[in-house]
Amino acid sequence: MTPTLGIVVVAAGSGARLGGAEPKAFVALRGVPILERALRGVFDSVEPAQVVVVAPESHVKAARTIAERVAGGASGAITVVAGGSTRQASVAAGLAALSAEVDTVLVHDAARALTPSALIDRVARAVRTTGAGVIPALPVTDTVKRVGPDAVVQGTVDRSDLVHVQTPQGFPRADLEAAYASATDEHTDDAALFAAHGGRVSVVEGEARAFKITTAWDLRRAENVLGAQTAGLRTGVGIDVHAYDETAPLWLGGLYWTDEPGLAGHSDGDAVLHAICDALLSAAGLGDLGSRFGTNDPRFAGAASEVFVRETLALVSGAGFAVVNVVVQVVAVRPKIAPRRSELEARLSALVGAPVTIGATTTDGLGFTGRGEGIAAIATALLSASA
Ligand code: CTP
Ligand code: MG
């Protein structure tokens, strides 16, 4: 299905006020380019979308690399184009790259690197319900003064109906394109241009985290927000090894595999699930599978290893942690993981209740895995303190 939502992410500015060595969107924010952080929010949004990244002419290739890294499997939905000398020209270049099926457009500043995906969803939904322009807004909290010549205050502005606005700003595509086609003046945002050509615009609630990185001080603020976020993170690792047992059925990653040798073990020998349990337990500081469940415990003889995962997850959440993600690597000649990778990832993610990704490798004929004697699985888990 071709997406009917288009998201134009403008990243073609130079960032003169930030004053970095690279254009602003390519400046690192805690080790990750601003554009990459912004695109993470975009790709985490619910509705499938065509994403158009507008980059400086000199950085089109760099932007494409970043966008493909973030999109992963969804990279078919990405377009990267060169921007213009003003933000308005850059938006126009982005609009020109939208595919025919797109009927709703969001225009978003890459400089709003920490915009939560929920805001993107909120704006897209509101455009569809109202059939008009929608912008995120937050109330003005400071007192606002009107100041005349010589720095003399002339009065206090009633702020009760004032808001400051953010992006993404959303519009019915045809109406926004018509407005852009007839625009001659420069406007400070897309909603102003849209309204100047007769469009109706309403507001939805904005997000403090969607602030724009303009100056070095803003970049520091974004770093601090991310720092506070990583403070409660814990990683863990787990490894499990089982020998093949030709007479047993193969259960691996919670799936049954036909025509493959099974694994020897006290339970069903599911090395992937066991490695995941150890990764989760170690991250939470709860010991390991052996000490928690006891390999001699008759309750677990021949048990489906999903039982261990469920028990482990209960212990982990009881200790005050939530799973952020889990990564597994299988080291084995058999079975081949790639053909069932997406099925495995879906099964494991459902079981763990967080994204689980899985990869595999062989060892070039070396060692017990190379000789085809058994399987090793290595897992890492990331937890966050759920308080
Ligand atoms: N933008 C753009 N093309 C331009 C100017 C701006 O795509 N010719 C984008 C910026 O990359 C940014 C967003 O519009 O994501 C908001 O603009 P701003 O914060 O002003 O960024 P810069 O123009 O890069 O910064 P400065 O004004 O300090 O140079
Ligand atoms: Mg600018």
The per-residue pLDDT for 72 is: 83
Extract the residue ranges of the chain whose pLDDT is less than 70. Answer: 75, 295, 302, 386-387
Q: Is the CB of 90 under 6 A from ligand 1?
A: yes
**Which two structure tokens, joined as six digits, stand for 51?**
């994403």
pTM of the model: 0.68
The per-residue pLDDT for 8 is: 98
The per-residue pLDDT for 27 is: 95
Separation of CA 137 and ligand 1 centre (Å): 20
Q: Is the CB of 17 under 6 A from ligand 1?
A: yes
Please give the CATH number for the structural domain made up of 233-385: 3.30.1330.50
Write out pLDDT tens, residues 16-28: 999 989 999 999 9
Rounded percentage of the chain residues whose pLDDT exceeds 70 = 98
Write out pLDDT tens, residues 117-167: 999 999 999 999 999 999 999 999 999 999 999 999 999 999 999 999 999
Q: Write down the domain spans for the chain.
A: 5-229, 233-385
Closest residue CA from atom 19 of ligand 1: 214
The per-residue pLDDT for 172 is: 98
- Closest-lying ligand 1 atom to the alpha carbon of residue 18: 28
The helix or strand, by DSSP H or E, that contains position 234, with its residue range, turns out to be strand 233-245
Q: Is the CB of 168 under 6 A from ligand 1?
A: no
The helix or strand, by DSSP H or E, that contains position 84, with its residue range, turns out to be none
CB 166 within 8 A of CB 212: yes
Rounded percentage of the chain residues whose pLDDT exceeds 90 = 85
Q: Is the CB of 209 under 6 A from ligand 1?
A: no
Please give the CATH number for the structural domain made up of 5-229: 3.90.550.10
The per-residue pLDDT for 295 is: 67
Q: Is the CB of 214 under 6 A from ligand 1?
A: yes
Mutational test site, ligand 1, from 109, 114, 169, max ligand atoms within 8 Å of CB: 109
Q: Is the CB of 115 under 6 A from ligand 1?
A: no
- Closest-lying ligand 1 atom to the alpha carbon of residue 109: 15
Amino acid at 248: A
**Which two structure tokens, joined as six digits, stand for 386?**
């759920």
The per-residue pLDDT for 387 is: 52
Closest C-alpha to 244, from 264, 259, 258: 264
What letter does residue 348 receive in the DSSP assignment? H
The per-residue pLDDT for 75 is: 66
**Neighbouring C-beta atoms of residue 250, cutoff 10 Å:** 21
Q: Is residue 363 part of an annotated ligand binding site?
A: yes
